[in-house]
């Protein structure tokens, strides 16, 4: 994210306010409300996306970015905001959640509101408000598309702004959720929040703004169904803790992440968490709907009494361009009600490209395994997903879902095991040998080794750094053959003192996002 005091950015932030529908409909009323932080936040949340106004960014969750820039390739907010202003308020192409949130963070900090970016892993998009997300698999472990609009994002990114909430009862000040990604309308516009984080944790979903939607993002339950002959016939899993798996933000003064899940909900599985869940469901669904939900959840427990447990593990960190080794761990559960002899399993595995929005593409790999487990026995079964199976079949995010459906021959009941893979790109190395001073040349060496099995074609390097570089440095690197290393020297003259960060992006036809960062402290120029 760009440093907020970059030249001309504050002016652009006020330009954003002045192009909002709120301002255009009634300028004098808009001006009179700009001392209300809740109002300003809602205006900015609506203006970061372009769904119903001259907003900053146009969203694109497809795979064709030929008319703009892939969301993965942005290094910071400055280039986006300057492009939007220079083109008279035409939306910049393209953004996804992390881009929307990063730009909003810059704008809100410019306007004097403490703001941070928050990531929610396994984030629910619950359109019908029933606090359950249904997903479906067939007998061959293939995840199937759903006709419902509900979905589970692999991750979702929003903002928190710190403010006093004079419009809410006492106790709901502090961090508030604001989400500029256009998911649904609020009072007729594509914006979201501010929703009190405290209200979300306590299930007070009646409090403004959009609290039920955010509550579901972090607290909905997931029910996974097995489909046979086009009908949902068996519950494979009821996950009460998979949504909002980890909620984190950047730690102050460090590049490390800070887990803030406890700010949004009580510990998963605790009496407090389930009590809040039922309280929120009563407010959202009414007493009758909440009672029906509770019966459904209690009824879904029947699948839990299985004689075998399964887990999928990674043998090592998965890297794009290499084979992916996996390990299936299977073991018997020592319960008297289960059969005493061997239990035979047929496990059908399937790997599918996983989309950021939670959907999948057609399978790219299948495998079947036969296992026999005696009481007290454990099995470690190796699996290998070859590179050639997923080459040219993934989206730019390089995500894969590996799922397995195990059928117990003795009972004919099924079990599900899932592992989501995020394939890592090659690593960049950034070295700065000299002392950094304002106005003096600073030499940086950037090294990239192509550890992939294929060449990286049409490589472009982009460098940015507030206070280090005015704008961007762009270099064409050509082709980097498999197994080869490239070392690039870049010279520039730091502009401002203090702690700075150099951001390096190398994109290619094969991998859109190879990024590296280097913290650099810039001293004042020494007297000659």
Active site (annotated) includes residue 13: no
Is residue 430 within 8 A of residue 448, CB to CB? The reply is: no
SS3 assignment for 335-362: CCCCCCCCEEEEEEEEEEEECCCCCECC
Phi, psi of 28 (to 5 degrees): -65, -40
Is residue 468 within 8 A of residue 412, CB to CB? The reply is: no
DSSP for residue 28: H
Using alpha carbons, select from 480, 523, 481, 482 the residue that is nearest to residue 500.
523
Is residue 141 within 8 A of residue 367, CB to CB? The reply is: no
Quick check: helix, strand or coil at residue 395?
coil
Cα–Cα distance, 205 to 216 (Å, whole number): 10
Q: Output the six-digit token pair for 315.
A: 């043998």
Active site (annotated) includes residue 161: no
The answer to whether the bond into 62 is cis (omega within 30° of 0) is no
Quick check: helix, strand or coil at residue 143?
strand
- Residue 63 counted as an annotated binding residue: no
Cα–Cα distance, 311 to 327 (Å, whole number): 8
Cα–Cα distance, 98 to 513 (Å, whole number): 14
- Residue 273 counted as an annotated binding residue: yes
- Residue 142 counted as an annotated binding residue: no
- Residue 431 counted as an annotated binding residue: no
Cα–Cα distance, 309 to 404 (Å, whole number): 12
The answer to whether the bond into 194 is cis (omega within 30° of 0) is yes
Q: Which of 179, 238, 356, 459 is catalytic?
A: 179
Beta bridge partners, 343, equal: 373
Active site (annotated) includes residue 179: yes
Helix (H) or strand (E) holding 390: helix 387-390
Cα–Cα distance, 126 to 470 (Å, whole number): 43
Cα dihedral: 472, 477, 482, 483 (round 10) = -80
Q: Which of 13, 41, 97, 191 is catalytic?
A: 97
Using alpha carbons, select from 55, 178, 50 the residue that is nearest to residue 108.
178
Cα–Cα distance, 4 to 77 (Å, whole number): 9
No. of H helices and E strands in the chain? 11, 27
How far apart, in Å, do the first and last CA atoms of the chain sit? 35
Buried b (16+ CB within 10 A) or exposed e, 81-102: bbbbbeeebebbbbbbbbbbbb
Cα–Cα distance, 239 to 226 (Å, whole number): 15
Edge-to-edge strand list for the sheet holding 231-239:
143-144, 132-137, 221-228, 231-239
Cα–Cα distance, 144 to 164 (Å, whole number): 45
CA angle 42–102–99, rounded 5-degree value: 100
Q: Which of 30, 125, 150, 156 is catalytic?
A: 156
Cα–Cα distance, 344 to 371 (Å, whole number): 6
Binding-site residues for Ca(2+), please? 219, 221, 268, 273
Q: Which residues are catalytic?
A: 97, 156, 179
- Binding-site residues, in ranges, read 219, 221, 268, 273
């Amino acid at each position: 994210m760009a440093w907020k005091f970059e030249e001309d950015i504050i002016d652009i932030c006020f330009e954003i306010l002045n192009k909002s529908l709120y301002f255009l409909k009634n300028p004098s009323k808009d001006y009179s409300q700009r001392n209300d932080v809740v109002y300003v936040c809602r205006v900015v949340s609506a203006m970061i996306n372009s769904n119903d106004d001259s907003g900053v960014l146009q969203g694109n969750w497809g795979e064709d970015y030929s008319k703009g820039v892939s969301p993965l390739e942005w290094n910071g907010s400055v280039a986006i905001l300057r492009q939007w202003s220079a083109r008279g308020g035409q939306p910049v192409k393209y953004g996804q959640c992390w881009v929307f949130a990063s730009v909003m963070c810059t704008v809100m900090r410019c306007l004097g509101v403490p703001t941070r970016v928050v990531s929610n892993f396994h984030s629910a998009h619950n359109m019908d408000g029933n606090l359950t997300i249904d997903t479906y698999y067939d007998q061959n472990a293939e995840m199937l598309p759903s006709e419902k609009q509900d979905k589970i994002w692999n991750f979702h990114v929003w903002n928190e702004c710190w403010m006093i909430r004079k419009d809410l009862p006492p106790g709901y000040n502090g961090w508030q959720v604001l989400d500029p990604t256009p998911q649904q309308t609020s009072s007729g516009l594509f914006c979201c929040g501010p929703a009190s984080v405290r209200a979300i944790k306590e299930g007070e979903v009646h409090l403004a703004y959009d609290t039920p939607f955010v509550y579901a993002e972090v607290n909905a339950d997931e029910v996974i169904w097995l489909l046979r002959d086009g009908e949902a016939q068996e519950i494979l899993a009821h996950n009460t803790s998979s949504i909002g798996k980890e909620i984190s933000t950047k730690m102050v003064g460090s590049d490390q992440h800070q887990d803030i899940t406890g700010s949004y909900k009580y510990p998963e599985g605790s009496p407090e968490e389930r009590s809040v869940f039922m309280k929120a469901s009563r407010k959202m669904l009414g007493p009758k709907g909440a009672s029906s939900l509770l019966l459904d959840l209690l009824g879904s427990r029947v699948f839990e009494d299985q004689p075998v447990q399964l887990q999928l593990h990674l043998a090592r960190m998965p890297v794009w361009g290499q084979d992916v080794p996996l390990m299936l761990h299977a073991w018997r559960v020592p319960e008297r009600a289960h059969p005493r002899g061997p239990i035979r399993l047929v496990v059908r595995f399937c790997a599918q490209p996983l989309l950021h929005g939670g959907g999948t593409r057609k399978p790219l790999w299948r495998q079947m395994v036969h296992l026999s487990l005696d009481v007290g026995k454990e099995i470690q079964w190796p699996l290998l997903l070859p590179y050639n199976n997923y080459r040219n079949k993934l989206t730019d995010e390089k995500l894969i879902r590996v799922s397995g459906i195990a059928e117990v021959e003795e009972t004919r009941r099924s079990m599900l095991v899932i592992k989501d893979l995020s394939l890592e790109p090659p690593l960049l190395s950034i070295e700065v040998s000299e002392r950094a001073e304002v106005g003096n040349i600073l030499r940086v060496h950037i090294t990239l080794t192509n550890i992939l099995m294929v060449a990286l074609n049409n490589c472009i390097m982009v460098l940015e750094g507030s206070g280090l570089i005015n704008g961007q440095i762009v270099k064409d690197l050509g082709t980097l053959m498999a197994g080869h290393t490239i070392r690039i020297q870049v010279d520039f003259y730091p502009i401002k003192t203090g702690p700075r960060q150099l951001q390096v992006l190398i994109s290619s036809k094969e991998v859109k996002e190879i990024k590296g960062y280097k913290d650099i402290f810039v001293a004042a120029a020494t007297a000659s």
